[in-house]
Structure 1
Amino acid sequence: MGKPANLLLLLLAFWCCVATTQAEVGSVQQAWIQELFPKATRIEDKQTDFPVYPVYQLNQLLGYAYESRDISDLPGFSGKPINLMIGIDLEGRFTGVRVMDHHEPVFLHGLGPEPMINFINQYNGRSLTEHIVIDSSRTGEPSTNGVVYVDGVSKATVSVIIMNDTILSSALQVARHKLEGFAQAPAARAIEDLYEPLDWQQLLDKGYVGHVRISQQDAVRVLGTSLDSYPDLPEAEGDEAFSEIWYAYINAPSIGRNLLGDSDFERLMNSIKPGEQVMAIMSGGIFPHVPDDFRPGTVPGRLSLEQGGLIVELRDMDLLNGNYHLQAQGIPEFQHANMFRVGGQAGFNPGAEANLKISAELPRNHLITDNATFEVPLTFPANLFEVVEAESPLAAQQNREPIWVGLWKSRWHSIVIISLALVVLTVFFARQKHYTQYPKLVHRFRWGFLWFTLVYLGFYAQGQLSVVNIYTLFLQIHDGFDIGVFLLDPVIFILWIYTFISLFIWGRGLFCGWLCPFGALQEMAAWLATRLKIKQIRVPEPLHRKLILIKYPILLGLVGSAFYSLTLAEQLAEVEPFKTSITLYFWRYWPFVLYAVALLVGGMFIHKFYCRYLCPLGAGLAVLGRLRLFSWLERIEKCGSPCQLCKRRCGINAIRTEGSIDYDECIQCLECVVILRDEQQCVDKINNRKQKQRAQLLATDATATDVGFTQSPRKV
């Protein structure tokens, strides 16, 4: 066989191998990976030691692609993980991110996929050596200390935070396992029983506390000009340092116990989570590690930590504010001292070399600003640590602070305001017998609270509960309950807990009548109808009793479809207009807007039409509300027979002809209780008052007659 034939056979064998390998990869994965690496000619099968696909151009390794679910199992807002195909090159740069599968409702049928795609496209070309932070207000700012700001999606905060964490945490794991420049030294941890009492000078002498001094001459050499050129710098006193830094790894008992004292060290170690690391940074000089106006609890702008080519997050713990004190014998006074939580997604290995970086942005005037970075080597003595086995990617992920903790911290103001509002509402309902004696007070309070529910709770805090939450709960119970899924949105979680508890006390109506933003919007549409003098349609009682049953099969259909197909259930959940009206402010594809507006217009003719006949969430709450402990809305014997005033005034027709309350339909507006307690409205009270007045008149006439009878003989 000649050389051409041999060459042909060789090429055929090569292409067969490629075809076989690509078949093993799978056509779907191959297509996604090809998008991330357009120059790829060979995509190898997923490796067994670490779940990545090596990508080649001929025989040159371009990088790795992987599915995020193989490395990170963070659940999305829907309770299901967001599966991403992520590409990373040999320099630790993202070649792209693609969404393979997700169940985030706001992107499926709310905002649509475009905002999600725009968000993940921001990672293209970004490097793992950068600290990527979601902050829409700072998007486009130049990178400072390796921090890069990306634009979030305002209506999908939870989803984008989860995607960001999934992308970065999984990529870091891939880099450390597969990229030479990012390989970690063997993990180290402080030896827990290693301790000897030391004073401040001994800590310095042993290297347990690191110390670096950047002189004025060093600063001038780096900046290239005299410090007098910078009017914002304080004037140096004599040979005062430009910056003087002390650093200490608090987790090591020989350091932490000596700096904090025995009791405070134990208290701190018991208060942090397993695996959390704390570092103390102290400084002085004319340019300390934080400015005078540094905000506690945040990331320092001047100071950064780098290890293994990655930016390691430093976040102030706001502990040296009176709760803890640095108290080693002989310790000097510092200009600034902070204790930082160290690690973040990149993690931190105290047994490996690292660098503290001090970044100076010094304006000469309003036009010219000089920038300089001073690197401080950071090392601790090896005898303080022991080598530990590296954690698996999923184990490392589980040991990090849960995402929901950061979300609750970031929304603390909404949590406080909503909690206070719920306390006020609870007091009002608990003392309704007292307050309903004052009709004007009740009406004003109700309308004030409805405005709060619509504007703050709904439009601002995005606290609209949905039937989606119900079948997410059922799916979680079916698949293995994880409360972390529900804690991702603190506002929704607080409202659900409060609603669930109130169902067993007062029934469905507390939520539907007071805490549902779309319900509040319907109330306002009905009020507008009265001002426009639109004639209300009174649905005949027999027909009304049949129509209120429609929402129950809708609920069953939605819950049942969720077990068949979550995607189908999310599509069918569009029967709720909540996403269109409250989440998206009616800014959506026109059929959805038309549907939501039609329901509101219908509610102007038939009071709260959607709530009464179509709402699956209301149906679910009504079912649970039947387990309530009290039928607490007061009724009297004459309610319904002969008096029908409350029934006629009840806009939602939740009062039966015989006068009893239908708690499955009642929204607890308290109007019937106000009428019952009002001397001028309640027929029973009016009749009793008239009877008393007649009795008094008869008694007066009788007295007058008796007086006249006894006086007449005297006249004779």
Structure 2
Amino acid sequence: MAGRIVLLLACLFVMPQVQAELSDSKRALIQELFPSATVIEDKLPDFPVYPVYQLQELLGYAYETIDHSRLQGFAGKPISMLIGLDTKGRFTGIKVLNHHEPVFLHGLGEEPLFEFVDQYEGHSLQEQIIVSTSNSSRSGRTSDGNVVHFDGVSKATVSVLIINDTVLSSALKVARQKLEGFAQSAPTRAKPDFYQPMSWQQLVDRGYIGHWQIGSESIEAELGRPLSDYPMNIEPAEGEPFTELFFAYINSPMVGRNLLGDDGYQRLMERLDDGAQVLAVMSRGAFPHVSREFVPGSSPDRVGLSQNNLAVEMRDLNLLDQNLEFRAAGMPSFEAGNLFRVGGNAGFNPGAEANLKLNVELARNHLMVDRTSLDIPVRFNEELFEAVEVAPNPEDTRQPVWIGLWKERWWQISLLVIGLTVLTVFFARQKALSRNPKLVHRFRWGFLFFTLFFIGFYAQGQLSVVNIYTLFLAIWDGFSLNVFLLDPIIFILWVYTFITLFIWGRGLFCGWLCPFGALQEMAAWLGEKLKFRQIKVPEHWHRRLILLKYPILLALVGTAFYSLTVAEKMAEVEPFKTSITLFFVRSWPFVLYAVGLLVIGMFIHKFYCRYLCPLGAGLAALGRLRLFSWLDRVELCGNPCQHCKNECGINAIRKDGRIDYDECIQCLECVVILEDDTRCVDKRLETKKRSRQANILATDAG
């Protein structure tokens, strides 16, 4: 007995050491991040990093992002990376350890992912890293001063933005904890009640607005040549500075109310998110703080902000106009003025010292450019601020990733909302509108083109069964709405689909909003035009085959809880990624499968939708909770009339005339027939009856 107790105690002491030991495979990866390393220590018990040395000299730290950031990826699971950070805050490299991003695993392949993270090597936390989310003319490693532009990955915008946020937020934690010069200052905030009316000059004299300038002689000394050597006409007039800058912390009522007026300050504060901080920058002279090519709403190209050796994000709010402008008494005129949102991952402490960097680039000719960077100290009068008791967590105060994505895609969101509004009105008035068959058919085909080309190919709004098990996994692991807000188009479509399931059932999405469904519809139309023989699946076989999609759904969802990797592979039963996301640019087995389904659909109408689609199965199950049955039936439907059943391409009408809402895609063809006096048997008999009665009455009257 005593021996067992000793053994148990020994295990308790030994296990933590075993768990902290560095595996050979991970040691090899860290060695790649620090090639000159001679000593790689085990993970520290008090802070999860691996110290790396060359003999006795500390080279930096390696760490796993999963220990410092739990930001979920597009698949609902964090992206795990091993990152090297040297003692000066520079990335020595990044290794992807584990991820579940579908577009990289089974779409584009992992090579674009590895190429993206390779861009961080050699760059520093002192630089502001901006990931391009669209096709840009910038190279992936170009830099404007301390602003560095990385190429994103087409079709994987959300994933690379999550990776960037994970890399920067985790690196900031490590730098602030372990690297010299990166520690946070005591936090401050603007005094909310500190205000009195002041003129422009009073604000400047008291240090409430910062001021800095440089003259021609000084800038010529920095550049090493006279300004007359540059054919840009940048020589200032006599007595004027080369550049004169003013900067102010707008969140302070003393500054904001005096600069913008009470109404303007109030409107600005109402438009900002909680925790948003705004820095105003104004300049005059031959070289303003933004160039003529500056794009409103983007990061400035000539000026950057840093604090505690960390780059502080600056992004133009693009809010200055006739309704919001600088209007302080006695304020001079400026060549340029902007309101910049500041903070980002690094945050911003307004009462602490910071540094503006003015990047001067002057071209002597098309080939030769002279550059210099000028440091501008930023320190406002301490009367504006008060101490904050607890330092805010940067992850809690910075703007969530999804907010920037929604702002960037505002016009896509607007167009989608307009399209969904039009569709809703059309469906709400379907009975009245169905009296005009041409209108219904034209609207349907027009909307299918909108769904395929805008929602699908352009906006990448193809819903998938992956979204379903991602939701279940998120609920299982601790639900966070932020994961689903990362893609605004997908989020809006899911919310709309979920709501309309209880009104119209599955069919509104499957028949109108599914891009691959629209592509199948077009393939079926082409098959008819080419006079392919249309195969009618026998009723008894059809009733059995439509059940196939339900076990496929259950297998996918169940497997996701066992192994997300296996579930992602099984999700390839959906051809959506191949056809809609990747435009059929993929390895041949996937393309063959997707094209094969479309070819089959030219003979059997919407074959995949009817028999294989797990997403359709999930929607059909929820659609049974619908509140209404919109598609009317009359006494003759199915007994004996089979006209609607024969015209229903998806075979969602039973022989007895009942509509199977689990299969119906709400194409409205049966509604059009029912409202057409020349096609509906009931209407035709009713017309004949009225005509016969009218003839009898006319005869009697004669």
What TM-score does the superposition give when structure 2 sets the normalisation length? 0.92
Aligned-residue offset at 1:29 = 3.3
Larger Rg: 1
Counterpart in 2 of 1:90?
A: 87
Asked whether the 8 Å contact 1:312–1:346 carries over to 2, the reply is yes
Once the two structures are superposed, the pairs formed by residues 14-25 of structure 1 within 5 Å of their partners are 24-25=21-22
Deviation at 1:409, TM superposition (A): 0.8
In the TM superposition, residue 161 of structure 1 has moved relative to its aligned partner by 0.4
- Aligned residue identity for 1:564: Y
What SS is found at the alignment partner of 1:318? coil
Question: Cα offset for 1:306?
Answer: 2.9
> Is the Cα–Cα contact under 8 Å of residues 347 and 394 in structure 2 kept in the other structure?
no
Aligned identity (percent) is: 63
Call closer, same or farther: CA 1:94–1:293 in 2, change over 3 Å. closer
Residue 469 of structure 2 aligns to which amino acid in structure 1? Y
In structure 2, the residue matched to 1:412 is 410
Structure 1 residue 133 and structure 2 residue 133: aligned? no
Is 1:429 the counterpart of 2:414? The answer is no
Q: Which of the numbers 508, 517, 520 marks the counterpart of 1:519? A: 517
**CA distance in structure 2 between the partners assigned to 1:391 and 1:116 by the alignment:** 35
Q: Pairwise mapping of residues 609-620 of structure 1 onto structure 2 (< 5 A)?
A: 609-620=607-618
Check the 8 A contact 1:22/1:43 in 2, yes or no.
Answer: no
The AA in structure 2 aligned to 1:650 is C
After superposition, the C-alpha distances for 1:376-395 in whole angstroms (9 at most, x for unaligned) are: 22222344444546747xx3
121, 124, 141: which one pairs with 1:124?
Answer: 121
Report what 1:713 is aligned to.
none
Cα 1:86/1:140, change in 2 over 3 Å: closer
Question: In the TM superposition, what is the alpha-carbon distance from 1:313 to its structure 2 partner?
Answer: 1.9
Q: 1:473 maps to what in 2? A: 471
Deviation at 1:621, TM superposition (A): 0.7
1:283 is matched with 283
Corresponding residue number in structure 1 for 2:144: 144
Segment of structure 1 superposing worse, 216-225 or 108-117: 216-225
Is 1:205 the counterpart of 2:205? The answer is yes
Alpha carbons 2:142, 2:150 under 8 Å: kept = no
**Could you say which residue in structure 1 is the equivalent of 2:176?**
176
SS of residue paired to 1:377: strand
Which residue is equivalent to 2:307? 307
Instruction: Report the Cα distance in structure 1 between the residues aligned to 2:354 and 2:210, rounded to whole angstroms.
Output: 12
| One-letter amino acid of the structure 1 residue matched with residue 684 of structure 2 | I
Q: Give the alignment of 1:305-454 within 5 angstroms.
A: 305-388=305-388, 391=391, 395-454=393-452
Deviation at 1:696, TM superposition (A): 4.6
Q: 1 CA distance for matches of 2:55 and 2:369?
A: 48
- 1:581 to 1:232, Cα distance in 2 relative to 1, 3 A: same
Given that residues 190 and 384 in structure 2 are in contact (C-alpha distance below 8 angstroms), is that contact kept between their aligned partners in structure 1?
A: yes
In 2: Cα distance, 1:324 partner to 1:309 partner: 33
Q: Given residue 128 of structure 2, which amino acid in structure 1 is its aligned partner?
A: H
Query: Gapped runs of 5+ residues in structure 2?
Result: 1-13
* Displacement of 1:398: 2.0
Distance 1:485 1:627, change over 3 A: same
List per-residue Cα deviations over 1:513-569 (Å, max 9, x = no partner): 000011111111111111121111111112211111111111112112222222222
| 1:560 paired residue number | 558
1:603 to 597, 601, 604: 601
TM-superposed CA distance for 1:264, in Å, is: 4.5
In the alignment, is the contact (CA less than 8 A) between 1:22 and 1:44 conserved in 2?
no
Question: Cα deviation per residue 1:436-460 (whole Å; 9 max; x = unaligned)?
Answer: 1111121111111111111111111
Q: Return closer, same or farther for 1:384/1:228 CA change in 2, 3 Å cut-off.
A: same
What is the CA distance between 1:646 and its match in structure 2?
Answer: 0.8
Residues 52-96 of structure 1 deviation map (CA, whole Å, 9 limit, x = unaligned):
110123322221000111111111111111111101112322121
Q: 8 Å contact 2:312–2:346 — kept in the other structure?
A: yes
Q: How many angstroms apart in 2 are the aligned matches of 1:311 and 1:388? A: 22
RMSD, aligned α-carbons: 2.5
- Match for 1:249: what amino acid? Y
Matched to 1:484, the amino acid is N
What secondary structure sits across from 1:661 in the alignment? coil
3-state SS in 2 of match to 1:373: strand
- Paired residue for 1:102? 99
Question: C-alpha distance in 2, partners of 1:59/1:294?
Answer: 48
Cα deviation code 1:194-232 (max 9, x no counterpart): 445543222222222121222233333334444444444
**Partner-residue secondary structure (3-state), 2:130:** strand
Kindly tell me the number of residue pairs found equivalent between the two proteins: 685
SS in 1 for 2:144: coil
Cα distance between partner residues in 2 of 1:292 and 1:580:
42
AA aligned opposite 1:425: L
Q: 1:478 aligns to what SS in structure 2?
A: helix
Secondary structure, in 3 states, of the residue corresponding to 1:148? strand
Name 2:10's counterpart in structure 1. Answer: none
Residue identity matched to 2:634: I
1:644 lines up with 2:624 in the alignment: no
8 Å Cα contact 1:296/1:318 also seen in 2: yes
User: Which whole-Å CA distance do the structure 2 matches of 1:63 and 1:319 have between them?
Assistant: 42
Q: Which stretch shifts more, 276-285 or 305-314? A: 305-314
How far apart are residue 647 of structure 1 and its match? Answer: 0.5
2-side partners of 1:454 and 1:554: how far apart? 25
For residues 303 and 24 of structure 1, do their structure 2 counterparts lie closer, same or farther at Cα, with a shift above 3 Å needed?
same
Distance 2:106 2:379 in 1: 52
- Distance in 2 between the 1:386 and 1:194 partners? 10
Q: CA deviation at 1:240?
A: 2.3
